Structure 1
């Protein structure tokens, strides 16, 4: 860590997480002490000089990432693997800050990392086979489900999630409300919807990323400008009673939504659950098709593993690509074309792979 107080705070959170696990009987109090004894905190960069693998987890800002990797490159031993926990940034650009890009790889742990099992390992253009194999082996050894993906904005999971997020924001401007949108996805089988998930992760994370990319999200930005970052501040898209994580619909947020809609001359209307479901999930499948065609993911089942283990996709629905096969790619493609005609929005253009498979009567997973 950069400062002793931040280090103490971080170690305190680790201890509390272990103690919470012990209170549920999953480990013993002795296990808590044993595990804490294995963790050494430091603010001294030279402490990593003998490490076999170093995983960076600083803010999602490229200049900071590159500064850290330049320092790691100067201190770490020659055969050390240098990994970044970035969730969206270009691993190749991060690697360019070092003299050993072959040793750099993305290891995207999912939040909360002590609970979520998915590990998106992001191979850079110059990541060596040894580096890739090491990241995959370490992932398995620490009980994660590692999936190998390529470099693009958001990799696989967040790139698909971004498409869902675009529609979620449009839906609330056009007439739906956050709790309605979320309920459609919890009814589908997700543990939470996009707005409650944003509150859990921290709305300031996305805000910081958007500002870095020069992108705006009118409703989310306005909520963040009020200091409402989600559960950690007691309010985000929803409000939260102290000590309770139950999202409570907030009239103040509804007011922000209606104001932004009016500013954009959007006439709000009733939106049914089926339209919400299609507009949230179909773009994800379409983006998955692009990801496969671009070889960012090796196979459709890898995309499904990412969504089941990292984003709470209901297991019994098999993942987005399996689900799309089950409902029929032709029906999905045709509905997208209908939405494109209805809205005039190129967003609904089917991916070439989706188009070809639909025409051939095939699926992403064969057959």
Structure 2
């Protein structure tokens, strides 16, 4: 087997949670045999039942026939332990976001697997190089960041570590293609492309709640622009408690004013759609987000307790701050070489974050506005609101040359 054409025939997935289940289906649907490991045998049993039910549902909907459902299910098998998966070509780890745990798993796998096997983590933000450092094969380690639900979402962020080999990247890209994914290669930084850009975007949305806006208002403005859903509806779908629990585990970030509304919602057991209440209310069995005056009252109370003087915030300001936060971070990602092109950033936002397709993605939209205009608008925000709005160096450089991100 030549180093350039390493084909993945046999894979293993570690972790039988929501992400693990979706990833197993992605692989099985693409014709790859998958061995599945979880240290909780009961959870693995349940997960196997769940994917069997998903395939049965697909047959009822006429998406696949029974023979195809059987073939996919036949490609998936439970494995008792790591020793049972020693011959696979690729392992994808999909356990919860804890660096020490992931390093421990990678260290054990490294000792067992054949030398050419690839080790991938489905982390959404953790340092791939720190994970690779736990192994003696950093050239074979990379990130495969699937989006939830993995078997439905098109986007796959392939994260290259400092030492990931070209052959490993090539094998991952070929696998992405087989799975029917839109694959984008990202450099290694906190949050990679998508979640790194999401951070300042949701931060602005949360700040505006404290300054005078309400969740429904913020979401309505962004959905009016064409987003599939606004940030607060998105948090209800994903689960507000995920970041809350992550802050608790990390022992930091819990005191920031911007997360106090989230914290209060979580303390009330309002985790989002799954619990029937989050930023919105959901009737039993419904996914319809309904305005909840109780949440508005909570937002008002939290902002007043924190000493904010509330003011009217219109849809123009909501769009301006959320979109420009996204674009300015995108420009930094581009100037640091984390993304290969502005088009790659747009692919991430169109396929993973519900950015309106007719606008072509955040960077393409910025080019349509003209970067000189974007530059001026960022400078105006910097004057009004401080340093965090300082325009990325690249925006000033391109604006001065009359160019757009497409030429960067």
Give the TM-score normalised by structure 2. Answer: 0.86
* Structure 1 match to 2:306: 264
Q: 1:148 to 1:241 in 2, by over 3 A?
A: same
Q: Aligned-pair RMSD on alpha carbons?
A: 1.6
**How far apart, CA to CA, are the structure 1 residues paired with 2:305 and 2:80?**
48
Q: Which runs of 5+ in 1 are unaligned?
A: none
SS of equivalent to 1:365: helix
Q: What's the CA shift for 1:338?
A: 1.3
* Structure 1 match to 2:237: 200
Q: 1:347 to 1:194 in 2, by over 3 A?
A: same
* Structure 2 match to 1:312: 354
**How far apart, CA to CA, are the structure 1 residues paired with 2:235 and 2:229?**
10
* Structure 1 match to 2:50: 13
* Structure 2 match to 1:120: 157
**How far apart, CA to CA, are the structure 2 residues paired with 1:213 and 1:54?**
31
Q: What's the CA shift for 1:275?
A: 0.7
Whether 1:275 aligns to 2:313 is no
Query: What does residue range 1-367 of structure 1 map to in structure 2 within 5 Å?
Result: 1-211=38-248, 212=250, 214-216=252-254, 217-343=259-385, 345-366=386-407
Contact 1:69/1:97 (<8 A) preserved? yes
Contact 2:158/2:183 (<8 A) preserved? yes
**How far apart, CA to CA, are the structure 2 residues paired with 1:185 and 1:13?**
34
Q: Which runs of 5+ in 2 are unaligned?
A: 1-37
Moved more, 247-256 or 182-191: 247-256
Structure 1 segments (4+ residues) deviating >4 Å: none
Q: 1:198 to 1:43 in 2, by over 3 A?
A: farther
**How far apart, CA to CA, are the structure 1 residues paired with 2:50 and 2:387?**
45
Contact 1:175/1:269 (<8 A) preserved? yes
**How far apart, CA to CA, are the structure 2 residues paired with 1:231 and 1:42?**
33
**How far apart, CA to CA, are the structure 1 residues paired with 2:112 and 2:55?**
31
The one-character-per-residue Cα deviations of 1:130-178 (angstroms, maximum 9, x if unpaired) are 1111111111111111111101110001000111010010111111111
Q: 1:172 to 1:16 in 2, by over 3 A?
A: farther
SS of equivalent to 1:148: strand
Q: 1:179 to 1:20 in 2, by over 3 A?
A: farther
Moved more, 180-189 or 276-285: 180-189
SS of equivalent to 1:238: coil
**How far apart, CA to CA, are the structure 2 residues paired with 1:266 and 1:214?**
23
Q: What's the CA shift for 1:251?
A: 2.6
Q: 1:182 to 1:15 in 2, by over 3 A?
A: farther
Contact 2:120/2:141 (<8 A) preserved? yes
SS of equivalent to 2:119: strand
**How far apart, CA to CA, are the structure 2 residues paired with 1:33 and 1:21?**
12
The one-character-per-residue Cα deviations of 1:333-360 (angstroms, maximum 9, x if unpaired) are 21121122122x2111111101111222
Q: 1:252 to 1:16 in 2, by over 3 A?
A: farther
Contact 2:79/2:85 (<8 A) preserved? no
Q: What's the CA shift for 1:213?
A: 6.6
